[in-house]
Amino acid sequence: MLQNMSTEDNKDVSICANCGKDNATNICNKCKMVKYCNAACKKKHRSKHKKACEEHVRLAAEKHNEELRNAAELHDKELFKSPPSLYGDCPICFLKLPSITTGWRYQTCCGKVICSGCVYAPLYDDKGNEVDNKKCPFCRVVTPKSEEGMVERLNKRVEASDAKAMYTLGCYYRDGLGGYPQDYKKALELFHQAGDIGYAKAYCSIGYAYDTGRRGLEVDKKKANYYYELAAMKGSAEPRYNLGNRERLAGNSERAMKHYKIAVRIGDSLSLKTIKKLYTDGDATKDDYTKALQLYQAYLGEIKSKQRDEAAAAREDYRYY
């Protein structure tokens, strides 16, 4: 009976398993199931306790391994499920926003992310006359003419807990822009804040910092992978592509292909090119490449519009795919 008592579940049990005396405090080092008065009692009882001890250790190891497998399965289920749209829909044309940064503009006046097509399109007043001065297409506030004015608006958005504004300010500190000193510690602090309230690209930047050892951090591939996964699960394509490359280099081609295909579905043309090259080199199947093409066409079907095409044709920095 004493051998089957767990010191974890019965913390008040203090009877020696060998001699039966009370106030035993010397616990079996392997199974942690029984107590002894001292080392001498533990040694005397070893032959009687050995079989039960080894069985308990074996069962505990099996349970632990099963828990690890279950945790890994749950993690993979989250990691490989279809992620949410990174930026949502344009608040003006209501089409899905492109994944590449030239396909949209962040407005520091109202905090909206607006597609390049709507930014490029002319504005009209209530009388139908075209508006000449540059205004936000959504809130119609005049765009500041100076960098100081833009920074002032950005700080107001940060005060309003705007994740995109926090990330942008973090980039200013990272690169020493906008009149801010280069401060990697402050930049990472802002990236963490932005990521924690939903901006996926902030986690990607943290992962990149750990991956390369830049921004004042030591190289830590495990942490880099952790933040890449956080960003990928929130819908960012770049870290998803990075994860695919990591899995491919590790010899996990099936997992790599899963990452690449998810990245293609959310608009990553680089992942599509990678799958094409793998197919050409004989490292991916025709079905893999066909599926990737279908996924990318589905993405284009969600984001393409005549207005966005006109903007992209007029300016390279309005290209949206």
Distance CA 133, CA 115 (A): 19
How confident is the model at residue 125, as a pLDDT?
A: 79
What is the per-residue pLDDT for 216? 73
- On whether the CB atoms of residues 185 and 171 are closer than 8 A, the answer is no
Mean pLDDT of 212-224: 88
Higher pLDDT, 66 or 287: 287
For residue 105, what are the β-bridge partners?
114
Quote the mean pLDDT of the chain.
Answer: 91
pLDDT of amino acid 126: 77
pLDDT reported for residue 5? 43
Please state the rounded mean pLDDT for residues 142-169.
Answer: 94
As a whole number, mean pLDDT of residues 312-320 equals 96
Alpha-carbon span 29 to 8, nearest angstrom: 13
Domain-located, residue 235: no
Query: How confident is the model over 44-62, as a mean pLDDT?
Result: 90
Mean pLDDT computed over 205-216? 88
Q: Could you identify the residue written with the tokens 């099963």?
A: 66
In order of 66, 86, 99, 224, 272, the CA distances from 257 in angstroms are 26, 21, 20, 20, 10
pLDDT, tens digit, for every residue of 60-72? Answer: 888 888 888 888 8
pLDDT at 286 exceeding the cut of 90: yes
- 83 located within any domain: no
- In this prediction, residue 210 carries a pLDDT of 94
CA distance 252 to 241: 14
- One-letter amino acid at 25 equals T
- Residue 260 within any structural domain of the chain: no
Helix then strand count (H, E) for the chain reads 12, 4
Residue 71 tokens, joined = 């945790």
Average pLDDT over residues 132-143: 87
CA-to-CA dists, residue 144 to 64, 141, 154, 315, angstroms: 59, 9, 11, 21
Binned at pLDDT 50, 70 and 90, residue 105 comes out as: very high
Which whole number is the average pLDDT over 210-236? 92
With contact defined as beta carbons under 8 Å apart, do 224 and 208 qualify?
yes
Residue 311: pLDDT over 90: yes
Specify the pLDDT at position 294: 98
Confidence check: pLDDT of 1 > 70: no
Question: Exposed/middle/buried for 270, CB within 10 Å: 0-12, 13-18, 19+?
Answer: middle
Residues 51-79 have a mean pLDDT of 90
pLDDT at 180: 94
Q: Is residue 33 part of a domain?
A: yes
pLDDT tier at 6 (50, 70, 90 boundaries)? very low
User: Under a CB-based contact definition with an 8 Å cutoff, are residues 120 and 315 in contact?
Assistant: yes
Number of domains in the chain: 1
Pick from 136, 110, 107, 111: nearest CA to 121? 136
Task: Name the least confident of 53-67, 162-176, 182-196.
Answer: 53-67
Whether the Cβ atoms of residue 312 and residue 104 lie closer than 8 Å to each other: no
- Predicted local distance difference test score (pLDDT) of residue 91: 97
Answer yes or no: is 28 within a domain.
Answer: yes
Q: Is residue 23 part of a domain?
A: yes
Is 38 within a domain? yes
Distance CA 256, CA 6 (A): 44
pLDDT for residue 9: 44
Domain that holds residue 60: 2-70
Q: Residue 3 — very low, low, confident or very high, per pLDDT cuts 50/70/90?
A: very low
Position 263 scores a pLDDT of: 97
Give Cβ neighbours of residue 226 (< 8 Å, ≥ 6 apart). 207
Long-range CB pairs of 293-296 (<8 Å, 24+ gap) are 295/261, 295/264, 295/265, 296/264, 296/265, 296/267, 296/269, 296/272
Q: What percent of the chain has pLDDT over 90?
A: 76
Residue 35: φ, ψ to 5°:
-120, 160
pLDDT of 7 strictly over 50: no
Residue 65 lies in a domain: yes
Residue 214's CB is within 10 A of a number of other CB atoms, namely 12
Strand, helix or coil at 107?
coil
